[in-house]
Amino acid sequence: MSPSQQLLRYGAIVCAILASIQPAYADLISDLTGKGGFTVLTPSSPGYNNASTAFNLRFTFQPAAVTYPTTPQHISTILSLTTKYNHQAVARSGGHSYIANGLGGKDGVVVVDMSNFNSVTVDSSTNVASIGVGNRLGDVALALNQHGRALPHGTCPYVGVGGHSGHGGYGFTSRKWGLTLDTIQSIDVVLANGTIVNGASSSKYSDLFWALRGSSSSFGVVTTIHTNTFAAPPSATIFEYHWDLSPSDAAAATSAFQSYVLSPNLPQEMGAEIVLGAGSSKGRVSFGLTGGWYAPADQYNSVLQPYLKHLPTPQSAQVTNGTYIQSVELLGGLGRLNTTGIPDGHDTFYAKSLMTPESAPMSNKSLNAFYTYLANQGFGANTNWFVEIELYGGTNSAINNVPLDATAFARRSSMFTIQFYTSAPGGVPPFPSQGFTLLDDMVDSIVNNNPKGWDYGAYTNYIDDKLANWQNLYYASHYPRLRNLKDKYDPHDTFNFPLAIQE
């Protein structure tokens, strides 16, 4: 067959496929819009462009429809129809997926937007909070604070609690209270075939409950999480220190931090991260220490000084004591926690993560290689970047005290989760290709200079669409079980998106 004949044959095949798909798509949209009771936006609808814009502007996808259910029965209808027409669907709570999985991570997916599921109630007898997954973290914190309660969660007020709690959920109180997913007592969820499951727990749909705490978006559309809450501390101390260091001094400061967090007397109430950026000049690194102390303020200095004594006098230091909710607002960086009616922002970025094993802290060789790279190649980068070395482990960490197999979250022996993040200039497209290399080389400078077989991982909430071996890095020994459960609860692969659990 000649090249021209091959081309004609290929074109005929494509046309036949499109001819078979288009009626099914039209029927799906007709059925969705004909059911009534919930809003459906299609590419021809006013408001569709805004509804289908990703938080990360590196991605542009065109969903088949964006739906706005208000009840679990609406979601059941939507998923029953996507299953009927062999179409794929995805849940979106806050929409902050780093790779736009809240839009399906590709064209043609039906988005189930959960923003109408925004109630927060607290049972006064049990202190269990029922939280709709359409809530943002800032609004959850405000609602719980009205009852004197709190949860461990991240600092960004606009992050949706659905995805956050479904795959992890780290914050500065996590060493004391665990990850957000660790607080969940039961979950209301709608399965791919439309089945509504109320109260999946350790005694009801226990295997599903296990999978939903670590990989929820691959298994269903969660509507409400029922979480244990904690008494808001009487006070909180937020600290921020900053230095401009040479690579060797920054490496020594990080090595000292690794030793500090393994000291036998480190209280659970200490949460912290090292924040890195470009230094004042080539050959220097911006080195910060940020965190929270959630115990009496008069104990703060004696707890942190054993670490600070290893560093020179900081260029700047700010220590702020106040109420717990004031500390949440301060860490949020916006001057407010309320997100209702206030549009979210956007960025154009790439991110990676690295979870380092507590049993084998980063070697001095790797730290020196890493900081030398930041001080030189990082200084000359054509993108804006930062690195956060978040403290997960250390003595008495509530994160690591949870048994490995209790949930689908697979990294219960980590010292740090490191987030590597770089944005296009001005935060707008296009994203420079050098940004990918910048972060890849940052990670490699650490991994390649630790012993062979170093048991590191990665964090799904900092999801990386270019990550090789992601099944092991994200889910480790839990991936085979997750695959089996995917076959059971989503046999038609309705929830299929980049880096979803594969059936």
Token pair in block for residue 10: 């290929």
Nearest to 285 by CA among 240, 250, 258: 250
> Any idea what the Cα angle at residue 115 is, between residues 112 and 121, rounded to 5°?
125
Task: Report the 10 Å Cβ neighbour count for 24.
Answer: 13
Question: Per CATH, which fold does 1-230+474-502 belong to?
Answer: 3.30.465
- Tell me which CATH code domain 236-322+346-467 carries: 3.40.462.20
Sign of the CA dihedral with 113 first, then 115, 116, and 122 last: positive
Q: Which residue has the tokens 């290709």?
A: 433
Average pLDDT across the chain, whole number: 95
C-beta of residue 255 within 8 angstroms of C-beta of residue 371? no
pLDDT of residue 23: 65
Give the integer Cα–Cα distance in Å for 166 and 449.
Answer: 33
Closest-CA residue to 208 (of 184, 180, 189, 224):
189
Would you state the pLDDT for residue 25?
84
CA distance 328 to 153: 10
Sole residue written with tokens 């494509």? 14
Where do you find CATH 3.30.465.10 in the chain?
A: 1-230+474-502
**Confidence category of residue 497, pLDDT binned at 50, 70, 90:** very high
Check if the beta carbon of residue 106 is closer than 8 Å to that of residue 84: no
pTM of the model: 0.94
Q: Count of alpha carbons within 13 Å of 40, Cβ hemisphere only?
A: 19
Show the tokens assigned to 102.
Answer: 């809240």
Percentage helix, strand, coil, to 5, in the chain? 35, 25, 40
Percent of the chain topping pLDDT 70: 95
Tokens found for residue 202: 């350790």
CA distance 78 to 36: 11
> Distance between CA 347 and CA 350 in Å, rounded?
10
* Tens-digit pLDDT profile for residues 373-398: 999 999 999 999 999 999 999 989 99
Instruction: Say if residues 261 and 395 touch (Cβ distance below 8 Å).
Output: yes
Express each pLDDT in 69-126 by its tens digit.
Answer: 999 999 999 999 999 999 999 999 999 999 999 999 999 999 999 999 999 999 999 9
Q: Where are the alpha helices (DSSP H) in 146-286?
A: 161-167, 174-177, 206-215, 247-261
Q: What's the one-letter identity of residue 136?
A: R
Give the pair of three-digit tokens for residue 50. Answer: 């805004």
14: confidence class by pLDDT, cuts 50, 70, 90: very low
Q: How many Å apart are CA 74 and CA 32, to the nearest integer?
A: 10
